């Protein structure tokens, strides 16, 4: 079964850092295009970033220079390193796979992990 | 950036009703458009991709149409499990952007 499971969310102070993880099963992360999408409490969906199978990354302007996507091929894991966190980064963060590489629509999604940035 | 709008923002409907949701892009996205369903506390679920292609496992009462800037999601006969929020998403160019959502609730 194809599945994504996020972890690593929690409470962090403004200016702090956090690393989110996404464990994949049923497929190989390194052969796919992987994304992070976030959703602030009670709000809509915001695309955050993508990591191509070839290693290229793209980021939303709101996180560029602060967030970094990476993967560990040996563990079949995806990561999102978040630095210089702001209150407005508070959201549920979902990892999601491109339905097919380069199509830029997402299936499947993980269940999400909540990041709260607050003092 | 391509801005996505949806109308209505919410709709109250009854089981068996036909429901239509509209999505508009600020510039043409060809058929690079997807629709998702999200229920409270759950991850979004892909319903429609490439404007009108039905994702595997999604009931045929869901359909999508449109190209360019104007798109439509139609639920032909609303079922109890369809009460949810629906989002469109453009996949034409980065940054990928979503519409603000349309909440379908019980009348």
Dist. CA B49–CA B33, nearest whole Å: 6
Gyration radius from chain B CA atoms = 13
Does A44 sit within 8 Å of B98, measured CB to CB?
A: yes
By a Cβ cutoff of 8 Å, what residues of chain B touch chain A? 32, 34, 36, 38, 42-46, 49-50, 55, 87, 89, 91, 94-101
**Residue A38, min C-alpha distance to chain B (Å):** 10
Q: What percent of chain B has pLDDT over 70?
A: 100
Which stretches in chain B have pLDDT values below 70?
Answer: none
Provide the residue-wise pLDDT of chain A in tens; the chain has 119 residues: 999 999 999 999 999 999 999 999 999 999 999 999 999 999 999 999 999 999 999 999 999 999 999 999 999 999 999 999 999 999 999 999 999 888 999 999 999 999 999 99
Question: pLDDT digits over A63-97, tens only?
Answer: 999 999 999 999 999 999 999 999 999 999 999 99
Per-residue confidence (pLDDT) for residue B107, from 0 to 100: 86
State both tokens at B43: 């991850």
Would you put residue B39 in left (φ > 0), alpha (ψ -120 to 50) or beta?
A: beta
Does B43 sit within 8 Å of A112, measured CB to CB?
A: yes
Please say whether the beta carbons of A20 and A113 come within 8 A.
yes
- CA B3, A112, A95: angle at the middle one, nearest 5? 65
Does A111 sit within 8 Å of B96, measured CB to CB?
A: no
Bridge-based pairing state of the strands A10-12 and A113-117: parallel
Dist. CA A9–CA B23, nearest whole Å: 32
HSE-up of A3 (CA within 13 Å, CB side)? 6
Does A45 sit within 8 Å of B36, measured CB to CB?
A: yes
Per-residue confidence (pLDDT) for residue A101, from 0 to 100: 85
**Residue A106, min C-alpha distance to chain B (Å):** 7
Please say whether the beta carbons of B46 and A99 come within 8 A.
yes
DSSP-derived letter for residue B44 is: -
- Phi then psi for A29, rounded to 5 degrees? -55, -45
């Amino acid at each position: 079964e194809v599945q994504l499971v996020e972890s690593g969310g929690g409470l962090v102070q403004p200016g702090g850092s956090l690393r989110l993880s996404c464990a994949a099963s049923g497929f190989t992360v390194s052969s796919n295009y992987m994304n992070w999408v976030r959703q602030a409490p009670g709000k809509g969906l915001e695309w955050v970033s993508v990591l191509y199978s070839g290693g290229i990354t793209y980021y939303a302007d709101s996180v560029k220079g602060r967030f970094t996507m990476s993967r560990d091929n040996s563990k079949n894991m995806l990561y999102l390193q978040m630095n210089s966190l702001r209150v407005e980064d508070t959201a549920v963060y979902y990892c999601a796979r491109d339905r097919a590489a380069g199509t830029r629509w997402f299936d499947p999604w993980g269940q999400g992990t909540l990041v709260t940035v607050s003092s | 950036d391509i801005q996505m709008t949806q109308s209505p923002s919410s709709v109250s409907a009854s089981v068996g009703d036909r429901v239509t949701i509209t999505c508009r892009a600020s510039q043409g996205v060809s058929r690079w458009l997807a629709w998702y369903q999200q229920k409270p506390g759950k991850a979004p679920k892909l319903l429609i991709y490439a404007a009108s292609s039905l994702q595997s496992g999604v009931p045929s009462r869901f359909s999508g149409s449109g190209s360019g800037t104007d798109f439509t999601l139609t639920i032909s006969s609303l079922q109890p499990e369809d009460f949810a929020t629906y989002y469109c998403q453009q996949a034409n160019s980065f940054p990928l952007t979503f519409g603000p959502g349309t909440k379908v609730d019980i009348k």
